[in-house]
Structure 1
Amino acid sequence: MADAACRYRAGLQHWHPLLRSTELGRQPIRRQLCGEAIVLFRTASGQPVALQEVCPHRRMSLAAGQVRGEQLVCAYHGWRFDAAGQVSCPLMPAAELQQPAFQLREAHGLLWLRQPQPGETVTPALPHWACRDLEPAGVTFHTVPAPLELTLDNFTETEHTTTIHQVFGFRSPAEVELRLELEPAATKVWNSGPQKPFPRLFDAFIDIRPRDRFANDWVTTFEPPLTVYEQIWRRGDQLRRFRLRVVMFFLPISDTSTQLTTLLYMPRVLPGPLHRWFAAPIARWITAYELNLDVKALAQLADLNPQLSAKTLGPFDKVLLENRRRIQALYLKH
């Protein structure tokens, strides 16, 4: 059932990378976004379709139905739904019913979903980011048992990396140089400090050494919430060969859960197919491992209230208040 009270429902107007394109076939699947229950499927011609999940007849989940040709057939009474949401009723051929439908696009190996708005004449473009000389290294998905604001808090502050992370983090918060820049629709953060010690097994694969300096800079925008990280390591003036661009989307599933869709980019560090067979999977595994540590930490939160108290905020937390102002203005239900 759709959660009409979900505080993030206004976010449905933005494009969200919900799942891999290869995950969607003719078998209907269910997803939730901004409190809305959605059924997705491909028609016989391969067209991806997303509709409101609940059948308007007797409340059956359309995810229990079957695709026949270019329509989805409800498992309960055989009502049929086409890609535009037009409903065909076996015993009421004159009925003119319309099931709410969502827009879908395929890009970057992902299916992107949004809800068209009343009176809309122009569909917004998909989010974009620069790749330059970097190559895709994979996509990961994580479900975080915390609301959007608290999830974004975790990924847009630096202090916790010294305690939670094992590979990508700083040795001590006191040694980190921090700079924050605010723009009307974005927050920009620059962090730089000594890399924390990590298992030496990794340095054989990712070319990072003890006493390297780690820089983790990012830009966060909010339509939808998206943070693009640039992670590099230096020894003096020498830039290490290994670096990462991490493109992370924050998708509110409900008031208390958030999906992370993360695209990873890196330079080619090994020749020929060795990069694809070894370097990219290792980088993807390490990144997923670090993200799992974040998810485990957020699962231990004792209070999911997204409100902040200015009295408890330190120098690494100023960006959190700015993020909330932008989410309030651009994303929440008014």
Structure 2
Amino acid sequence: MNPWHPALYDHWYAVARTSRIGRAPVAISLLDRHIALARTEAGNWLALEDRCPHRHAPLSAGCVQGDHLVCTYHGWSFGADGGLKRVPGLAQDTSPPNVRVRHFAVQELDGFVWLRPGDGGASAPSALMRETDGATRRFQWQTRWSAHVVDAMENFLDPLHTHFVHAGLVRRDGARMPMDARFRGTTEGFTVDYSGRPSQSGLLYRLFESERTVERAHFAAPGTARLEYGYANGSRVLIDLHFTPVAADATDVFVGLHVEGRWAPAWAVRLLAWPFLKRVNAQDAAMLALQADNRRRFPGRRGASTELDIVRDALEAFWIRGETPAPSAERLVRMML
């Protein structure tokens, strides 16, 4: 039984860093579908179901020749449209049989390869990403979390776990102050604006930030989550995470950091900030793995929530029921953050 809502296949998902894909095919998985991804000699994309229809060898084990993906078993060659182009050994006056492999739409955006696993739907990834200035990107990374995609996204968008999972690094439990969180639906998902405190109590803020004028969380369907920080001098930092479900208990996470209006060369971010970001990622990954393991011990149990769990219902509505918040949806939650 397919665990995913059918509407999910009509959206675009980040599946790889552009710099990591060359002419050698790469095997990727998305919503339990298995795909061979490669570039042609001309630099165009090939994204085909990772199974040769002849004898079921994985096409990701093959190679690219010209604009075709060639199976490593008997050399059957397929074009970007999935059509069979050549069968080695056939007589010269014999045409290849009418055999096709399922193909998928692919785009490049902001340093990532995006793929749509369905046959129709959105023509491009979210507007949130299309409006981002690629020239401001300072950092890119890819990892995998052992978690359902909803749990993974909630973790990133939820500020209330940071006092414990990232104690001292992001926030301290003993330094909480009142803040307002305003949830608003958008045409693509939602935003949450936090107001009432221009700073955080953790080490990361003290080392790398200054007084905040904007603290905002974004969700754009299907799996883009952004933390946006604006500063008094007009600069901005955008932390983008793109969540791509490999399976029900595994999610690929693609990270992009954009720095606008602040002096922050890529080498400085990697040398100074990366060790702290890596530590935060390791803490989140460990917590999510614990959560996933315990979910398996107690199957079918639902979690209890309060008004503080401001994003959970909207994420479940999209991923479980195929719904998006109405753009007019709005609510205010007061919390100690």
- TM-score of Structure 1 vs Structure 2, range by shorter chain: 0.7 to 0.9
1:151–1:207 Cα change, 3 Å: closer
Range moving further from structure 2, 313-322 or 280-289? 280-289
1:207 Cα deviation after fit:
4.4
Equivalence for 2:285: 295
Match of 1:231 among 220, 229, 232: 229
Partners of 2:33 and 2:55 in 1: CA distance: 18
Calculate the aligned-residue CA RMSD, in Å: 3.2
Counterpart residue identity of residue 71, structure 1: H
2:164–2:173 CA contact under 8 A, matched in 1: no
- Note the alpha carbon deviations across 1:127-146, whole angstroms, 9 max, x for none: 23344799211112121101
Equivalence for 2:332: none
1:107 Cα deviation after fit:
2.1
Is 1:108 aligned with 2:107? Answer: no
1:133–1:16 Cα change, 3 Å: closer
Is 1:188 aligned with 2:191? Answer: yes
> Could you list the runs of 5+ residues in structure 1 that have no partner in the other structure?
234-238
2:11–2:122 CA contact under 8 A, matched in 1: no
Is 1:265 aligned with 2:255? Answer: no
1:10 Cα deviation after fit:
4.2
Report the 3-state secondary structure (helix = DSSP H, G, I; strand = E; otherwise coil) of the residue aligned with 2:265: helix
Partners of 1:294 and 1:56 in 2: CA distance: 40
- Note the alpha carbon deviations across 1:267-318, whole angstroms, 9 max, x for none: 3543xxx734324653455334322321121111111568634xx2133213
Partners of 2:133 and 2:33 in 1: CA distance: 36
Is 1:308 aligned with 2:297? Answer: no
Equivalence for 1:320: 312
Is 1:198 aligned with 2:203? Answer: yes
1:317–1:214 Cα change, 3 Å: farther
1:140–1:288 CA contact under 8 A, matched in 2: no
Equivalence for 1:139: 140
- Note the alpha carbon deviations across 1:94-133, whole angstroms, 9 max, x for none: 410110001111221221111352xx5x852222334479
2:5–2:319 CA contact under 8 A, matched in 1: no
Is 1:61 aligned with 2:34? Answer: no
Counterpart residue identity of residue 102, structure 1: F
Partners of 2:3 and 2:280 in 1: CA distance: 30
1:157 Cα deviation after fit:
1.7
> Could you list the runs of 5+ residues in structure 2 that have no partner in the other structure?
325-337
1:151–1:40 Cα change, 3 Å: same
1:276–1:155 Cα change, 3 Å: closer
Report the 3-state secondary structure (helix = DSSP H, G, I; strand = E; otherwise coil) of the residue aligned with 2:108: strand
1:134–1:246 Cα change, 3 Å: farther
Report the 3-state secondary structure (helix = DSSP H, G, I; strand = E; otherwise coil) of the residue aligned with 2:42: coil
- Note the alpha carbon deviations across 1:35-68, whole angstroms, 9 max, x for none: 0111011222221211000111211111111222
Partners of 1:80 and 1:331 in 2: CA distance: 40
Report the 3-state secondary structure (helix = DSSP H, G, I; strand = E; otherwise coil) of the residue aligned with 2:165: coil
Partners of 1:175 and 1:97 in 2: CA distance: 64
1:162 Cα deviation after fit:
0.4
1:53–1:61 CA contact under 8 A, matched in 2: yes
Counterpart residue identity of residue 85, structure 1: G
Report the 3-state secondary structure (helix = DSSP H, G, I; strand = E; otherwise coil) of the residue aligned with 2:51: coil
1:157–1:316 CA contact under 8 A, matched in 2: no
Equivalence for 1:159: 160
Percent of pairs with identical residues: 22
1:134–1:22 Cα change, 3 Å: closer
1:67–1:125 Cα change, 3 Å: closer
1:162–1:173 CA contact under 8 A, matched in 2: no
1:148–1:257 CA contact under 8 A, matched in 2: yes
Equivalence for 1:253: 246
Match of 1:21 among 18, 21, 27: 18
Partners of 2:271 and 2:70 in 1: CA distance: 40
Partners of 1:43 and 1:320 in 2: CA distance: 41
2:40–2:65 CA contact under 8 A, matched in 1: yes
Range moving further from structure 2, 92-101 or 292-301? 92-101
1:133–1:207 Cα change, 3 Å: farther
Counterpart residue identity of residue 163, structure 1: F
1:38–1:51 CA contact under 8 A, matched in 2: yes
1:146–1:257 CA contact under 8 A, matched in 2: yes
- TM-score in terms of structure 2 length: 0.79
> Aligned runs of 1:67-86 on 2, under 5 Å?
67-86=64-83
Equivalence for 1:36: 33
